[in-house]
Amino acid sequence: MSEEPVLVIAIDGPAASGKSTVAIMLARRLGLALVDSGSMYRAATLLAVERGVQLDDEASLADIARELRESFELELPPDSPVRVSVHGRDISSAIRSPEIGEAVSPVSAVRGVREEMVELQRSLVRKPGAVVEGRDIGTTVFPEAPLKVYLEALQSERARRRYVELTEKGLATTESSVGQEIAMRDEIDSSRESSPLAAARDALRIDTTELTIEDVVKEITSELERRGLRSDV
Ligand code: DC
């Protein structure tokens, strides 16, 4: 009897393109693990900021990333939001603050940090599989994934979404400062030397500007069926 292969669905795209929400919904619907790689880079950034590590101190940042390989956990409980923890401490909210949003791009541009994070991402994928989301999943982390998706949306729409998300959480901000943060992150994430944000050549590209989350999830599950990867969705 042949063994079922591990199913990896790679989802990449810029900030606020809808990746996280789509990935969570897909992972729940398909009974797969969720690997949110952005939360790992955010966790490394949070620890660096808390410990007063300079954001250009590459060796110390890589040490923090290595530490996360033993201490980072991401849970997707059936009825409650994703829980991210480090050394057992819940950091789910702390990693989403605007301060961490601003500091995360330079940290994630450090080669030594990326090497550790890629190992961590690969180690979290087990049977039956995972939805792995980030910026370089289809190009670098899982270039052999049987389905790669690249989500995009107009920058103005992404800024609007992130603004709504932050204000709903009671985090004071303005739409124009969120727009600036997103534009700055797009620039750093796509121009860095070490695995920049990019669509894999064989990725299914979806522009989410005018789509609902449900529309996007349906498009992905239809593609899974078309490719014979899942027939039960
Ligand atoms: O998806 P997010 O907004 O939580 O990601 C936060 C930052 O982490 C993003 O600005 C760039 C970085 N990141 C990365 O460099 N590579 C990934 N695979 C995922 C995120």
What domains sit in the chain, N to C, each tagged with a CATH number? 7-215 (3.40.50.300)
**227 C-alpha to ligand 1 centroid (Å):** 28
List the residue whose alpha carbon is closest to atom 6 of ligand 1: 38
pLDDT tens by residue, 156-197: 999 999 899 888 888 778 889 999 989 998 998 899 888 889
Q: Residue 15 CA: which ligand 1 atom is closest?
A: 3
- pLDDT at 101 (0 to 100): 87
Identify which of 41, 84, 158, 194 to mutate to test ligand 1's pocket (most ligand atoms within 8 A of the CB). Answer: 41
CA angle 119, 208, 5 (to 5 degrees): 40
pLDDT at 22 over 90: yes
- pLDDT at 98 (0 to 100): 82
- How many whole angstroms separate alpha carbon 64 and alpha carbon 47? 7
Is 147 in contact with 223 (CB distance < 8 Å)? Answer: yes
Q: How far apart are the first and last CA of the chain?
A: 24
**13 C-alpha to ligand 1 centroid (Å):** 9
Residues near ligand 1 (Cβ within 6 A) = 15, 37-38, 41-42, 104-105, 108, 134-136, 185, 189
Is 106 in contact with 56 (CB distance < 8 Å)? Answer: yes
What whole-number percentage of the chain has pLDDT above 90?
81
